[in-house]
Amino acid sequence: MVLDPAIPGTASDRIRVMLVDDSAVVRGLVTRILEEDPAIAVAASVGNGQMAVSALERNDIDVVLLDIEMPIMDGMTALPKLLQIDPGVRVIMQSTLTLKGADVSMRALQMGASDYIPKPTSTRDLAGGMDFKTELLGKVKALGMARHRNPRRPVRPGAPAQPLRPIMPPRPAVVSPPPVVRNQAIEPPDVIAIGSSTGGPQALFAVLGTMRAGTVRQPILITQHMPSTFTTILAEHISRVSGWEAREAQDGEVIRGGRVYIAPGDFHMVVETKGADKVLRLNKNPPENFCRPAVDPMLRSVAAAYGRRVLACILTGMGSDGLKGGQAVIAAGGAMIAQDEATSVVWGMPGAVATAGICSAILPLPEIAPWIMKTAARR
């Protein structure tokens, strides 16, 4: 176990990370990546889940990067123990890009993990892969900042009331415009389009688990930022928790009511009109907002295909994907809602549309499904 004694306490502006991986080489490489960013400090580095549980009991941690397969105690066994010690800690699972890895990651998200990151297949990929580095830093910083805004830190026995650690110079405050709710007459939708990213699988399980199969007749299109393989497993888990017929979209298939279509990893999913039918098309156009699949292309296409008969929903996620597409939905006469900040893992995507003044409602996660069902029932 490696702890950083120079970073005790909770006063610093830095994001404190604990690495949990049985490979010392991997931990060393990830440490170097993370500590290139002055906003991040690696506060603990341990080799298995049991050591992680012990470390979290004694240290103030914002984000845990948790490997799944480890000796003594694996990541899935450690996850609920970590969340019991500190319910507010953000946990990112490290997973291989396999069906088994994707399934385990999805179960971890249902158990309370905040996100996952695909694990490079070799130390060479880990050391030199810019995609991995960019994704790792982006997720750690987004989840760490969300933790700082809503700390929910445990009270540790014997800890000083205000523990101290070195403080970085304060950053200028970034003041976001307040959310603005749009007052508009909402047409009964012919399609429901949902976009999500970080924290999205958990939010989708909650929404569709409430809005179960048969409660609405409209088709549901979902773009969740995920790699291939993971979207296959996401569809299976949605079917399991909701009873919907959920599956990855196939190029050229006709959209039918009462089904859930998910954009496959590495493909944008868009809608085209073909005679009297609406048809799904998959493409490998350049990433938008650094993502493929991206929410914006989906929303632009449903706005063009369905006009004012669109209900779009943006759930938790970092970045602003969905804003430009949402503006197209509103320009066509459709409606949009967003998840509120308090219930979002990261209020990037929903915050972007909420503060742009294009949402008819900004709702806590438990209220989203009832709102959609009520609006969809008017059809």
Each residue's pLDDT tens digit, 136-184: 999 999 999 988 877 666 655 544 333 333 333 444 444 557 787 888 8
Predicted confidence (pLDDT) per residue in 36-88, tens digit: 999 999 999 999 999 999 999 999 999 999 999 999 999 999 999 999 999 99
Q: What is the pLDDT of residues 188-206, one digit of tens each?
A: 999 999 999 999 999 999 9
Q: Which of 12, 21, 60, 225 is catalytic?
A: 225
The confidence score (pLDDT) of residue 171 equals 44
Question: Is position 196 annotated as part of the catalytic site?
Answer: no
How confident is residue 9, by pLDDT bands cut at 50, 70 and 90? very low
Give 18-54 as a DSSP string.
Answer: EEE-S-HHHHHHHHHHHHTSTTEEEEEEESSHHHHHH
Q: Which of 321, 340, 344, 360 is catalytic?
A: 321
Q: Hunting for tokens 């609406």 — which residue is that?
A: 278
Q: How far is CA 54 from CA 3, 65, 226, in A?
A: 12, 15, 32
Where does the chain hold its CATH 3.40.50.2300 domain(s)?
2-149
- Does residue 225 carry a catalytic annotation? yes
DSSP 134-159: HHHHHHHHHHHHHHHHS--PPPPTT-
The CA distance from 346 to 199, in Å, is 7
pTM over 0.85: yes
| More confident of the two residues 95 and 355 | 355
Q: Model confidence at 128, in pLDDT bands (50, 70, 90)?
A: low
**CA-wise closest residue to 40 among 116, 128, 145, 117:** 145
2-149 homologous superfamily:
Response regulator (3.40.50.2300)
Residue ranges, comma separated, of all CATH 3.40.50.180 domains in the chain are 191-376
Lowest-pLDDT range of 42-46, 120-124, 286-290, 292-296: 120-124
Cis peptide before 364 (omega within 30 of 0): no
Q: What is the mean pLDDT of the chain?
A: 88
pLDDT, tens only, 226-248: 998 899 999 999 999 999 999 99
Considering the chain, what percentage of its residues have pLDDT values greater than 70? 87
Other residues' Cβ atoms within 10 Å of the Cβ of residue 123 = 13
pLDDT of residue 234: 95
pLDDT band at 348 (very low <50, low <70, confident <90, very high): very high
Which residue in 45, 95, 114, 197 is the catalytic one?
197
State the CATH class of domain 191-376.
alpha beta
